[in-house]
């Protein structure tokens, strides 16, 4: 600092010499405070003061409703006093795991200490994305705003869509193609899983998986009527295609003891079977062609030569 005392001499003309002027102490340039602005000249002399204002998103205590201004003065010692710090506003801890949207996850501890203008990464849970058709679009961020609240995401996580329903031959597919939903596949009449008989083989479920693809598609087969019925005097059997689309089992038989023409065939009737005459065979009535039909689902036709 400069001199604060001086002496005056008495001159020959009986007067004192002129005193030197006393100047206000100079503190220098008002200090720059991070995240704050000041108004006025840069240089500070005693007893000048300057008003500082915290930038948006900053207060004196970090609270969103905290004070945002303070005064800095140049004191008689030539020092600045009243300097304060502007602190970033703190956002409150999230209220729960769905605070930033459903089906998402984030670092809860990190989110609890977020201040302006920090941001937090958020990712969708497995099987979810920001766009149901863009399965890799799973990341977004939220930020702590100047007013102490979190920004809202541009989109939230939603179940992915596995796409068009798969086509299943001889079956009908209904239901949801979204992750978490399921498709029900119902077999057409005459078809089942593995060709087996029973309600448990008539339908099954397809799941839309977290990967965005469907679970395995099973195929229906024509219902099997089982082994051919036991028919008396049958020598051999041959399986041949049928025009109707069902299986035609052609049986060649030799009548060991043919009776007169029009006599009933010496065959056996199994459960669920009926016998009807459809044509006559060799001349002289030595043979007849009979057809047996299984009355259950997925019926097959039996041609019997006796």
Other Cβ atoms less than 10 A from the Cβ of 168: the count is 19
258 CB-side CA count, 13 A: 17
Q: What is the pLDDT of residue 6?
A: 74
Q: Do domains 20-88 and 104-159 have the same CATH topology?
A: yes
Among the ranges given (16-20, 159-163, 249-253), the one the predictor scored with the smallest mean pLDDT? 249-253
Domain 20-88 has CATH 2.30.30.110: no
Return the domain boundaries, the chain: 20-88, 104-159, 171-222
* 287 pLDDT higher than 50: no
Say what percent of the chain tops pLDDT 70. 74
- 104-159: which CATH number, 3.30.2130.10, 3.30.300.30, 2.10.70.10, 3.30.230.10? 2.10.70.10
Query: Please, which residues have CB within 8 angstroms of residue 164's CB and are 6 or more apart in sequence?
Result: 177
Q: What is the pLDDT of residue 55?
A: 98
Under DSSP, the state recorded for 201 is G
- pLDDT of 33-51, one tens digit each? 999 999 876 778 899 999 9
Residue bearing the bigger pLDDT, 268 or 40: 40
What value does the mean pLDDT take over residues 248-268? 45
Q: For the chain, what is the total number of helices (H) and then of strands (E)? A: 1, 23
Among the ranges given (5-14, 198-207, 255-264), the one the predictor scored with the smallest mean pLDDT? 255-264
pLDDT range class, residue 62, cuts 50, 70, 90 = very high
Q: What is the pLDDT of residue 124?
A: 97
Q: What is the pLDDT of residue 1?
A: 55
Q: Is 110 helix (H, G, I), strand (E, B) or coil?
A: helix
272: left (phi over 0), alpha (psi -120 to 50) or beta: left
């Amino acid at each position: 600092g400069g001199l604060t005392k001086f002496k005056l001499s008495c001159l020959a003309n009986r007067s004192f010499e002129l005193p030197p002027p006393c100047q206000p102490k100079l503190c220098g340039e008002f200090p720059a405070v991070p995240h704050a602005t000041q108004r006025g000249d840069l240089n500070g002399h005693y007893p000048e003061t300057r008003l500082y204002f915290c930038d948006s998103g900053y207060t004196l205590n970090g609270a969103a409703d905290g004070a945002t201004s303070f005064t800095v003065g140049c004191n008689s010692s030539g020092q600045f006093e009243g300097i304060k710090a502007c602190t970033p506003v703190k956002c409150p801890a999230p209220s729960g795991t769905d605070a930033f949207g459903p089906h998402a996850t984030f670092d809860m501890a990190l989110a609890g200490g977020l201040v302006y203008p920090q941001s937090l990464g958020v990712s969708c849970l497995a099987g979810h994305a920001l766009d149901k058709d863009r399965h890799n679009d799973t990341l977004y961020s939220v930020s702590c705003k100047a007013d102490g609240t979190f920004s809202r995401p541009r989109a939230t996580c939603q179940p992915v869509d596995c796409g068009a329903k798969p086509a299943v031959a001889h079956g009908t597919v209904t239901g949801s193609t979204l992750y978490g939903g399921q498709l029900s596949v119902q077999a057409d009449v005459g078809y089942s899983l593995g060709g087996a008989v029973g309600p448990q083989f008539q339908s099954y479920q397809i799941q839309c998986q977290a990967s965005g693809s469907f679970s395995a598609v099973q195929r229906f087969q024509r219902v099997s009527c089982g082994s051919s019925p036991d028919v008396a005097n049958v020598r051999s059997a041959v399986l041949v295609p049928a025009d109707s689309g069902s299986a035609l089992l052609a049986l060649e038989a030799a009548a060991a003891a043919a009776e007169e023409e029009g006599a009933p065939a010496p065959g056996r009737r199994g459960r669920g079977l009926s016998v009807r005459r459809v044509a006559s065979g060799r001349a002289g009535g030595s043979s007849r062609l009979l057809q047996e039909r299984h009355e259950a689902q997925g019926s097959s036709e039996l041609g019997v030569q006796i």
